[in-house]
Amino acid sequence: MTRSADTHCPYCALQCAMTLTPTGAPAGRPDATTDAAAAPVTVAGRDFPTNRGGLCKKGWTSAELLTAPSRLGAPLVRGADGALHETSWDEALDLVATSLRGIRSAHGADAVGVFGGGGLTNEKAYLLGKFARLALGTSRIDYNGRYCMSSAAAAGNRAFGVDRGLPFPLEDLDGAETVLLLGTNVAETMPPFIGHLAGAQAAGGLVVVDPRRTATARLTDDGRGLHVQPVPGTDLPLLLGLIHIVIAERLVDLDYIGSRTVGFDRVRRSVAAWWPERVQSVTGVAALTLKRLARRLASGANTYILTGRGVEQHVDGTDTATAAINLALLLGLPGRAGSGYGTLTGQGNGQGGREHGQKCDQLPGYRKIVDPEARAHVARVWGVSPDVIPGPGVPAVELLKLLGAPGGVRALMVHGSNLVVSSPNVLDVRAGLERLDLLVVCDFFLSETAALADVVLPITQWAEEEGTMTSLEGRVIRRRRALTPPDGVRDELWILHELAERLGSTAAFDTDPEAVFEELRLASEGGIADYSGIDYAMLDRGDAAYWPFPRGGESTPRLFVDRFAHADGLARLVPVAVRESARPVATGDEITLITGRLLEHYQSGAQTRRVPELLAARPELIASLHPATGLRLGIEDDDRVEVSNVRGIVHCRARLTPDIRPDAVFLPFHYGDEQTANLLTSDEVDPISAMPEFKTNVVGIRRLASVPAMPVAESGVPA
């Protein structure tokens, strides 16, 4: 292929537009005759509303993944010697199908589990959900979006009746004069995003709430904005305090509340005890600062409130996100021109990935799997009886606890996820995977999870495939092929088709992405996430397509302009309360662990640790500590330290910085093996969203005796 292809970045949900131009260099793994440094495509930023031609380091270097030396080029099967060996596709797929049939026959269909990913195209996510329910007959499917957006989704659904991360185009932020960012570090996680904050910066209205002085928080350093640095895990009382002030100082938009919401009186009573001085004693944020912030939000300037994982990845994450929504509703922001509320989706297709059947309780179109009408509609599209479709399964953390357990899951298929890096309480997850009768992983590389598999199936990368993605603003976009895939890899649509045939499924599993999308359109029609009015021809013309987009209707770039998605058209103000036992409290020499991301890496690092430039910039795990904490614990800059709790131990290097509170330590979660931050995180979950507690876990930290630096392999984990 020699022509350029207009597509989008393979990483985050900003989905920056790029153009890939083939160079003539071969795709696939380099060999003795291949220049390993020669990428098969060049990358150029493309003008698009979200990124306006800009890309971050990850986007600019993304082509290097296509020829990374460690890229998988043939199926791998674990032999009698315990090692993985290359084999043919027929042999690998026959083995998988035979094993799955045996496990289902002996233990039932629910003994087979499926774990998906928020980076899969809409077509793959849709077909994976269909495959699980029809070809496997299992209810036990969930995905890693449970670790990302589930709390925000649950809060949005109960308040608005719909879950779309940004219910407005990102460009709307350009006109903002006040933007409140809660628990998100967009300057590092999606750098082109910050261009949309320039107006709020210039107006002195950029407010960042984060226990760390992140790159995003430093955007307020000119003194006109505001960085609020609360005690880790106190976002909920902080928001309840802001709501208290808004009500007490009569800053509520009463006309909006009266005409567009229900539940105000209950919320008013629920925050009565959160006066500013009490909030100050809990959060460490001065009462005067709280009042200043509340007044700024209610000043009448074009105002937006945006939340991220920092306030959502908690056992009370749904309630915290709900409190942020309550604040926005009291100020009359959602649906009002020039203002709004939204939550920032993280994974590349985190939005579309949760709409079409990967979640344990959903069918395509964001339909509830327990709804008889939803089941009947999808069954008609699939050509089966509704009774054939299994009922709801269990969410991700519970699914992983079933691995190898009596009466639990005996086989697991993993698509687009690196479980032993990204999941909480990693030691237990690893033990569960090792108890399985069969672990099948589809991946580009031998990730930490793939290294444990019985069968590894090498798949195409983003530049080698067609499909659609849905960005953080609910916009459906086209992924286009720039390269012919290497001979030894296969597209996951083909893999699902081949396995379905071997399993004897009579349902259709098309291998053509456009044909799969056409089926997805039908399955989603009439649902909350209705894609029925969208087709490839429209997207190829460059038409904007925001869901819901019903057949014969129009794109919906802005939700809530006239009504919310509940039957009566009104938003719900939902009272929430602080649960004193929601999180453990650090005492003595213990400290609160905060986890998060770095500019150079993405998610589990399975891809970015294969890019030399990115790995060189951040080759190993670093624990960020305040100098006062280092002094108290006898830790100096660049010392090797041990961070531990009852769940695990992490060894890494310390970095002393005033950019973090003295009561916290920050670990990025991009590294594997003994540098995996999630060795320390709890698998206790939010009772509503099933989101694990990622952000505030109690740890101890101590200096290790001087040891040589650990050698770092290409994968970015200790050699």
**Where does CATH 3.40.228.10 sit in the chain?**
155-343
Residues of each domain in the chain carrying CATH 2.40.40.20: 591-703
Residue type, 242: L
pLDDT for position 24: 80
State what percent of residues in the chain have pLDDT above 70: 95
| Amino acid at the residue 316 | D
pTM exceeds 0.85 for this model: yes
261-283 average pLDDT score: 98
DSSP annotation string for 279-313: HHHHH---HHHHHHHHHHHTSSS-EEEEE-HHHHS
Selection from 496, 491, 487, 488 nearest residue 479 by Cα: 491
Give the chain's count of helices (H) and strands (E): 23, 29
604-656 pLDDT, tens per residue?
A: 999 999 999 999 999 999 999 999 999 999 999 999 999 999 999 999 999 99
Share of the chain above pLDDT 90, in %: 92
What is the fold, at CATH topology level, of the domain defined by 155-343? Dimethylsulfoxide Reductase; domain 2 (3.40.228)
State the DSSP H helix or E strand holding residue 485, giving kind and residue range, or none if neither.
Answer: none
pLDDT digit string, tens, across residues 134-175: 999 999 999 999 998 899 999 999 999 999 999 999 999 999
The confidence score (pLDDT) of residue 224 equals 83
Res 223: pLDDT: 82
Q: How many of the other CB atoms lie within 10 Å of CB of 272?
A: 11
pLDDT average, residue stretch 200-219: 96
Question: Per the structure block, which two tokens stand in for 537?
Answer: 């021809």
Q: For residue range 664-713, what is the model confidence (pLDDT) as tens digits?
A: 999 999 999 999 999 999 999 999 999 999 998 999 999 998 654 544 44
Residue intervals in the chain for CATH 2.20.25.90: 5-67
With CA atoms as reference, report the closest residue to 147 among 669, 620, 648, 584: 669
- Stretch (H or E) spanning 682: strand 682-685
Q: What are phi and psi of 531, to 5 degrees?
A: -105, 10
Model confidence pLDDT, tens digit, residues 299-343: 988 999 999 999 999 999 999 999 999 999 999 999 999 999 999
- Which CATH number does 591-703 carry? 2.40.40.20
Q: What is the CATH number of domain 5-67?
A: 2.20.25.90
**Residue-level pLDDT at 685:** 96
Residue entry with tokens 């895990």? 233
